[in-house]
Amino acid sequence: MTDAPQLYLMTPAGAQASALGPLLTEVMDRVPTACLRIRGGAEEDELGRLADLAREIAHARDVAVVIDDHVKLAQRHGLDGVHLTDGARSVRYARKELGDDAIVGAFCGGSRHDGMTAAEHGADYVSFGPASESALYKGEPVELELFRWWSEMIEVPVVAEGAITRDLIGQLSPVADFIALGAEIWSQDDPAAALVQLWG
Protein backbone atom coordinates (compact mmCIF):
# COMPACT_ATOMS: atom_id res chain seq x y z
CA MET A 1 0.00 0.00 0.00
CA THR A 2 1.57 3.26 -1.05
CA ASP A 3 -1.30 5.77 -0.92
CA ALA A 4 -1.48 8.16 2.01
CA PRO A 5 -4.18 7.21 4.53
CA GLN A 6 -7.51 9.01 4.48
CA LEU A 7 -9.12 10.79 7.40
CA TYR A 8 -11.82 8.87 9.25
CA LEU A 9 -13.54 11.38 11.54
CA MET A 10 -15.41 10.43 14.73
CA THR A 11 -17.92 12.67 16.49
CA PRO A 12 -17.44 13.26 20.22
CA ALA A 13 -19.10 10.55 22.35
CA GLY A 14 -22.42 11.78 23.72
CA ALA A 15 -22.42 14.87 21.48
CA GLN A 16 -25.47 17.14 21.22
CA ALA A 17 -26.52 17.85 17.64
CA SER A 18 -27.17 21.56 18.23
CA ALA A 19 -23.66 22.17 19.59
CA LEU A 20 -21.84 19.94 17.12
CA GLY A 21 -23.31 21.21 13.83
CA PRO A 22 -21.20 24.35 13.25
CA LEU A 23 -18.02 22.67 14.54
CA LEU A 24 -18.50 19.62 12.33
CA THR A 25 -18.98 21.78 9.25
CA GLU A 26 -15.81 23.75 10.00
CA VAL A 27 -13.73 20.63 10.68
CA MET A 28 -14.89 18.82 7.53
CA ASP A 29 -14.17 21.87 5.41
CA ARG A 30 -10.58 22.02 6.64
CA VAL A 31 -9.38 18.50 5.82
CA PRO A 32 -10.91 16.16 3.22
CA THR A 33 -12.70 13.37 5.08
CA ALA A 34 -13.37 9.84 3.80
CA CYS A 35 -15.86 8.71 6.44
CA LEU A 36 -17.73 10.20 9.40
CA ARG A 37 -18.57 7.97 12.36
CA ILE A 38 -21.23 8.91 14.88
CA ARG A 39 -20.14 7.73 18.32
CA GLY A 40 -22.68 6.37 20.79
CA GLY A 41 -23.16 7.64 24.32
CA ALA A 42 -26.29 9.74 23.85
CA GLU A 43 -30.00 8.90 24.18
CA GLU A 44 -31.57 7.38 21.08
CA ASP A 45 -33.59 10.55 20.30
CA GLU A 46 -30.44 12.66 20.43
CA LEU A 47 -28.54 10.12 18.33
CA GLY A 48 -31.32 10.38 15.78
CA ARG A 49 -30.99 14.17 15.65
CA LEU A 50 -27.23 13.80 15.37
CA ALA A 51 -27.63 11.24 12.58
CA ASP A 52 -29.82 13.61 10.55
CA LEU A 53 -27.43 16.52 11.06
CA ALA A 54 -24.30 14.48 10.32
CA ARG A 55 -25.87 12.94 7.22
CA GLU A 56 -26.81 16.35 5.85
CA ILE A 57 -23.35 17.85 6.45
CA ALA A 58 -21.41 14.78 5.30
CA HIS A 59 -23.47 13.85 2.25
CA ALA A 60 -23.20 17.44 1.00
CA ARG A 61 -19.44 16.77 0.90
CA ASP A 62 -19.72 13.23 -0.54
CA VAL A 63 -18.64 11.70 2.77
CA ALA A 64 -20.09 8.39 4.00
CA VAL A 65 -21.65 8.25 7.48
CA VAL A 66 -21.67 5.25 9.83
CA ILE A 67 -22.98 4.98 13.39
CA ASP A 68 -21.74 2.93 16.35
CA ASP A 69 -23.71 -0.35 16.63
CA HIS A 70 -27.23 1.02 15.90
CA VAL A 71 -28.35 -0.96 12.85
CA LYS A 72 -31.96 0.30 13.18
CA LEU A 73 -30.90 3.96 13.48
CA ALA A 74 -28.69 3.57 10.41
CA GLN A 75 -31.71 2.31 8.47
CA ARG A 76 -34.17 4.85 9.85
CA HIS A 77 -31.96 7.89 9.22
CA GLY A 78 -30.54 6.96 5.82
CA LEU A 79 -26.96 6.45 6.96
CA ASP A 80 -24.41 4.53 4.92
CA GLY A 81 -23.80 1.81 7.50
CA VAL A 82 -22.60 0.83 10.97
CA HIS A 83 -19.38 0.59 12.94
CA LEU A 84 -19.58 -2.43 15.23
CA THR A 85 -17.73 -2.18 18.52
CA ASP A 86 -17.93 -5.90 19.39
CA GLY A 87 -15.37 -7.22 16.92
CA ALA A 88 -16.61 -9.89 14.52
CA ARG A 89 -19.68 -10.90 16.55
CA SER A 90 -22.38 -8.82 14.83
CA VAL A 91 -20.94 -8.52 11.32
CA ARG A 92 -23.17 -11.17 9.74
CA TYR A 93 -26.29 -9.80 11.42
CA ALA A 94 -25.55 -6.22 10.35
CA ARG A 95 -24.81 -7.30 6.79
CA LYS A 96 -28.08 -9.26 6.60
CA GLU A 97 -30.11 -6.33 7.98
CA LEU A 98 -28.46 -3.57 5.97
CA GLY A 99 -27.77 -5.35 2.69
CA ASP A 100 -24.73 -5.65 0.46
CA ASP A 101 -24.39 -1.94 -0.34
CA ALA A 102 -24.10 -0.75 3.26
CA ILE A 103 -20.78 -0.14 5.00
CA VAL A 104 -20.13 -2.56 7.86
CA GLY A 105 -17.00 -1.88 9.89
CA ALA A 106 -15.71 -3.73 12.94
CA PHE A 107 -13.52 -2.56 15.82
CA CYS A 108 -11.31 -5.49 16.83
CA GLY A 109 -9.07 -3.98 19.52
CA GLY A 110 -5.67 -5.58 19.05
CA SER A 111 -6.94 -8.99 17.95
CA ARG A 112 -5.62 -10.24 14.62
CA HIS A 113 -7.95 -13.24 14.92
CA ASP A 114 -11.03 -11.05 15.45
CA GLY A 115 -10.01 -8.89 12.52
CA MET A 116 -9.63 -11.86 10.20
CA THR A 117 -12.98 -13.31 11.34
CA ALA A 118 -14.70 -9.95 10.78
CA ALA A 119 -13.19 -9.75 7.29
CA GLU A 120 -14.32 -13.30 6.51
CA HIS A 121 -17.84 -12.48 7.68
CA GLY A 122 -18.04 -9.58 5.25
CA ALA A 123 -16.76 -6.48 7.06
CA ASP A 124 -15.83 -3.63 4.70
CA TYR A 125 -13.07 -2.47 7.02
CA VAL A 126 -11.48 -3.51 10.29
CA SER A 127 -10.37 -1.05 12.96
CA PHE A 128 -7.56 -1.67 15.46
CA GLY A 129 -6.69 0.41 18.51
CA PRO A 130 -5.74 2.14 20.64
CA ALA A 131 -2.68 3.09 18.63
CA SER A 132 -1.02 4.40 21.81
CA GLU A 133 -1.80 4.66 25.56
CA SER A 134 -5.43 5.74 26.02
CA ALA A 135 -7.78 5.90 29.00
CA LEU A 136 -10.73 5.68 26.59
CA TYR A 137 -9.91 2.16 25.42
CA LYS A 138 -9.60 -1.15 27.20
CA GLY A 139 -6.47 -3.10 26.53
CA GLU A 140 -2.88 -2.47 25.61
CA PRO A 141 -1.80 -0.23 22.72
CA VAL A 142 -1.70 -2.02 19.38
CA GLU A 143 1.76 -2.66 17.97
CA LEU A 144 2.63 -1.07 14.64
CA GLU A 145 3.53 -4.59 13.52
CA LEU A 146 -0.18 -5.57 13.45
CA PHE A 147 -0.97 -2.81 10.96
CA ARG A 148 2.11 -3.73 8.93
CA TRP A 149 1.14 -7.40 8.79
CA TRP A 150 -2.49 -6.59 7.93
CA SER A 151 -1.58 -4.22 5.12
CA GLU A 152 0.69 -6.86 3.56
CA MET A 153 -1.55 -9.91 4.03
CA ILE A 154 -5.19 -8.79 4.00
CA GLU A 155 -7.07 -6.86 1.31
CA VAL A 156 -9.81 -5.50 3.60
CA PRO A 157 -8.96 -1.88 4.53
CA VAL A 158 -7.66 -1.17 8.03
CA VAL A 159 -8.37 1.82 10.29
CA ALA A 160 -6.03 2.94 13.08
CA GLU A 161 -7.75 4.63 16.01
CA GLY A 162 -7.22 5.74 19.59
CA ALA A 163 -4.76 8.26 21.04
CA ILE A 164 -3.34 9.21 17.63
CA THR A 165 -0.45 11.69 17.66
CA ARG A 166 1.28 13.49 14.82
CA ASP A 167 4.27 11.16 15.16
CA LEU A 168 1.99 8.15 14.98
CA ILE A 169 0.32 9.45 11.82
CA GLY A 170 3.78 9.46 10.23
CA GLN A 171 4.46 5.89 11.36
CA LEU A 172 1.00 4.59 10.42
CA SER A 173 0.82 6.28 7.02
CA PRO A 174 2.50 3.44 5.08
CA VAL A 175 0.43 0.71 6.76
CA ALA A 176 -3.08 2.09 7.47
CA ASP A 177 -5.78 2.88 4.91
CA PHE A 178 -7.59 5.24 7.28
CA ILE A 179 -6.62 7.07 10.45
CA ALA A 180 -9.44 7.84 12.87
CA LEU A 181 -9.46 11.09 14.82
CA GLY A 182 -12.05 12.14 17.38
CA ALA A 183 -11.22 12.91 21.00
CA GLU A 184 -7.79 14.11 19.82
CA ILE A 185 -9.39 17.20 18.26
CA TRP A 186 -12.72 17.68 20.06
CA SER A 187 -10.98 18.10 23.43
CA GLN A 188 -9.18 21.18 22.06
CA ASP A 189 -10.51 24.76 22.10
CA ASP A 190 -10.42 24.96 18.31
CA PRO A 191 -11.07 21.47 16.85
CA ALA A 192 -10.54 22.56 13.23
CA ALA A 193 -7.14 24.09 14.01
CA ALA A 194 -6.21 21.02 16.09
CA LEU A 195 -7.07 18.79 13.13
CA VAL A 196 -4.93 20.80 10.73
CA GLN A 197 -2.03 20.71 13.18
CA LEU A 198 -2.30 16.95 13.64
CA TRP A 199 -2.97 16.02 10.03
CA GLY A 200 -0.47 18.51 8.64
Would you list the DSSP string of 81-113? EEEESSTTTTHHHHHHHH-TTSEEEEE-TT-HH
* 122 is a domain residue: yes
- pTM higher than the cut 0.85: yes
Number of H helices and E strands in the chain, helices first, is 9, 8
**What's the total number of domains in the chain?**
1
Query: Where residue 2 falls among pLDDT bands split at 50, 70, 90?
Result: very low
The residue-averaged pLDDT of 79-90 equals 97
* 18 is a domain residue: yes
Domain residues for the domain of 169 are 6-199
Kindly report the CATH number assigned to the domain that includes residue 22: 3.20.20.70
* 1 is a domain residue: no
Which parts of the chain are beta strand (E)?
6-10, 33-38, 64-68, 81-84, 103-107, 125-128, 158-160, 178-181
Res. 160: pLDDT tops 90: yes
**How many residues does this entry show for the chain?**
200
Query: Where residue 132 falls among pLDDT bands split at 50, 70, 90?
Result: very high
Give me the amino acid identity at 173: S
Q: pLDDT tens, 92-123? A: 999 999 999 999 999 999 999 999 999 999 99
Q: How far is CA 165 from CA 11, 44, 75, 162, 185, in A?
A: 18, 32, 34, 9, 11
Cβ contact 40:73 at 8 Å: no
* 126 is a domain residue: yes
Res. 138: pLDDT tops 90: no
The residue-averaged pLDDT of 164-174 equals 97
